[in-house]
A and B are shown apart, each in its own frame.
Chain A
Amino acid sequence: MATEPINMELAGKCVNEFGGAIGMPQLCGEWFGNQIFWLVVALVAIYFILSRVALPRIGSVLAERQGTITNDIAAAEDLKVKATQAEAAYDKALIDARAEAQRIVAVAKADIQADLDKAIAKADAEIAAKTSESEKAIAEIRAGALKNVEEVAKDTALAIVEAMGSSADAKTVAAAVDAQMKG
C-alpha cells in the first residue's frame, strides 16, 4: 500500500492518489486488455507444451507401462504353466524311482534270502558233522577216563588196604572195586 501520492498521470484511472484500489479492481476496464493478452499467451503456451511434449510423452509412458504389465503377466502365466508341468514331471519321476527302488529291494531281498538259506544249510551240515565228531571224541574221552578211574581206584584201594595193615590180594581188591563201581 503506497503511503505517499503517486504520479496520477502514469497510474491511470483505476487507483486513487495513494495507489489504493478504487472500487473493485476486477471491474476496472483499463486493465482488461493487458490481462486478456497475457492470459491468451499463457494458455497458448500451456497448450503447446501439453499437446507437443507432455501429453504424448505421458501417454506413451502409460501405454508402455500397460504393455510391460501385460507382457509380464503373460510371461508369468507361461512360467506358471511351465512350473506346473515341471512339477508333474517331477512327481512322475519320483513315483517311478520309488517303484524301481522297491523292485531293487525285493530282488536284493530274494538274493539275500537264497544266499542265507544256502549258508544256513551248509552251516547246519557242518554243525552236524562237527557234532558227531565231537560226540565220538567225547565217547573216547569218557572211555579213557573210566579206564583211568578204574585203575586209580584199584591202586588207591590197594594202597588204603595196605596202609590199614592187612595184606590184600590185588585181584580181590580189583574185583571189589569193580563191584563197587558197577553198583
Chain B
Amino acid sequence: MEGDIVQMGAYIGAGLACMGMGGAAVGVGNVAGNYLAGALRNPSAAAGQTATLFIGIAFAEALGIFSFLVALLLMFAV
C-alpha cells in the first residue's frame, strides 16, 4: 500500500514536470519568432546570426529536455 502511494506521487510529479515543456516551447517560439522579425527587418544581417539563433534555441530547449528528464526519472527511476 505504501508503494502504491509513492507510485501515485511519482506519476503525478511526472505529469507536473511535463508542464515545464510548455515553457520550453514558449521560449523556443520566442527565440525563433524574434529572430524572424529581426531578419525580416534587416535581411542582410540575418545570415551572420544563424549560429546565435541555434545557440539560443538550444539553451531554451535544454530546459524543456530537463523537465522531460525529470518526468522520466520519476516514471522509471524513483
Contacts and interface: CB of A to CB of B under 8 A. Distances in A.
B50 to A, nearest CB: 22
Interface of A: 21, 23-24, 27
A24 B75 CA distance: 9
Q: How large is the interface on B (under 10, 10 to 19, 20 to 34, 35 or more residues)?
A: under 10
Interface string B17-57: 00000000000000000000000000000000000000000
Interface in B43-78: 72-73, 76-77
Nearest to A25: B76
Contacts of A23: 76-77
A135 to B, nearest CB: 103
A47 to B, nearest CB: 24
A19 to B, nearest CB: 16
User: Which 3 pairs between the two chains have the least Cβ-Cβ distance?
Assistant: A23-B77, A24-B77, A23-B76
Contacts of A27: 77
Contacts of B73: 24
A24 B71 CA distance: 11
A24 B76 CA distance: 6
A113 to B, nearest CB: 74
B77 to A, nearest CB: 4
A15 to B, nearest CB: 13
8 contacts: A21-B76, A23-B76, A23-B77, A24-B72, A24-B73, A24-B76, A24-B77, A27-B77
